[in-house]
């Protein structure tokens, strides 16, 4: 077993952006988690789907109305949380952390705070204004009334520990899966927030002012010169911020 000092010195392995089918992208994240048992190198893996798919959190029911998700695959990820429309305008990042790594110290949710702080630093350096990290308890109420259950069913409509906001609206969502080799923290950066297809798939009306106001995308922000940072710039900033955690 490596010592904490040795683990702390390990730099993050940074994999290139992977573009592919949603099912394959999700499966590879779990495969990389299992590989940590034989190669305990902390790893950052970026991905973007070639087409949209509805991704349910582990434990969510799969009884979506067929008429509303026609043409979109419905998948269940290996982490918790609410449903996400994994589309080409979502930039995904898997943060893979080996067991025993100091990044996992504390309770099961402490890693969310660390990952969120990394994202917040990077986004601030890119010029995003009024960035914050949610430090409180999760706001999803899955056992509440019908309205609360709908909000809980949509990942970006509620907040969890470590998730990143801009001007009070959710910008980066987080979910986690633990196995014996370590942890997989799945991050989703919105480029644009368009919840109508997901709401329809969940059997709700396509317009919902509260849910529309709960999140926003990087491209939805006002940028000097009218251009938001592209994916390459975001990836570089986030990777640099992660590297700073090993200094």
Residue 139 phi/psi, 5-degree rounding, is -100, -5
Mean pLDDT of all residues in 189-193: 97
Task: Provide the percentage of residues in the chain whose pLDDT is more than 90.
Answer: 70
> What residues contact 234, with CB distance under 8 A and at least 6 apart?
91, 122, 126, 189, 218
Computed over every residue of the chain, the mean pLDDT equals 90
What whole-number distance in Å separates Cα of residue 237 and Cα of residue 128?
12
Domain with 8 in it: 4-244
| Packing angle, helices 110-126 and 231-244, rounded to 10 | 130
pLDDT digits (tens, 9 = 90+) for 197-221: 999 888 888 889 999 999 999 999 9
Q: Is the pLDDT of residue 88 over 80?
A: yes
Q: How high is the pLDDT of residue 41?
A: 96
pTM above 0.85, yes or no: yes
**In CATH, what number is assigned to the domain containing residue 190?**
3.30.930.10
- pLDDT tens digits, one per residue of 36-87: 999 999 999 999 999 999 998 887 765 566 566 667 888 988 888 889 999 9
Mean pLDDT of the 107-128 span: 97
In this predicted structure, the answer to whether residue 2 has a pLDDT above a threshold of 50 is: no
Share above pLDDT 70 across residues of the chain, in percent, rounded to a whole number: 92
Q: Is the pLDDT of residue 9 over 80?
A: no
- Per-residue confidence (pLDDT) for residue 165, from 0 to 100: 98
What number is the average pLDDT over the span 152-171?
95
Round to whole Å and give the CA distance between 128 and 172. 12
How many domains does the chain contain in total? 1
> Is the torsion defined by CA of 101, 105, 107, 111 positive or negative?
negative
């Amino acid at each position: 077993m490596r010592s904490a000092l040795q683990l702390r010195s390990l730099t993050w392995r940074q994999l290139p952006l992977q573009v592919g089918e949603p099912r394959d992208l999700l499966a590879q994240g779990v495969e990389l988690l299992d590989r940590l048992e034989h190669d305990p190198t902390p790893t950052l893996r970026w991905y973007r789907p070639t087409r949209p798919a509805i991704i349910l959190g582990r434990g969510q029911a799969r009884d979506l109305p067929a008429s509303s998700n026609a043409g979109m695959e419905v998948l269940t990820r290996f982490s918790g949380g609410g449903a996400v429309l994994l589309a080409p305008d979502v930039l995904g990042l898997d943060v893979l952390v080996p067991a025993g790594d100091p990044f996992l110290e504390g309770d099961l949710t402490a890693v969310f705070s660390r990952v969120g702080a990394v994202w917040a630093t990077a986004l601030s350096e890119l010029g995003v204004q009024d960035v914050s990290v949610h430090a409180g308890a999760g706001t999803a109420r899955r056992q509440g009334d019908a309205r609360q259950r709908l909000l809980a069913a949509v990942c970006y409509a509620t907040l969890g520990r470590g998730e990143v906001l801009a001007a009070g609206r959710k910008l980066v969502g987080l979910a986690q899966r633990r196995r014996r080799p370590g942890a997989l923290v799945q991050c989703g950066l919105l480029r644009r927030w368009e919840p109508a297809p997901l709401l329809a798939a969940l059997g709700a009306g396509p317009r919902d002012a509260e849910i529309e106001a709960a999140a926003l995308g990087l491209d939805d922000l006002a940028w000097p010169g009218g251009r938001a940072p592209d994916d390459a710039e975001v990836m570089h900033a986030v990777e640099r911020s992660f590297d700073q955690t090993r200094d």
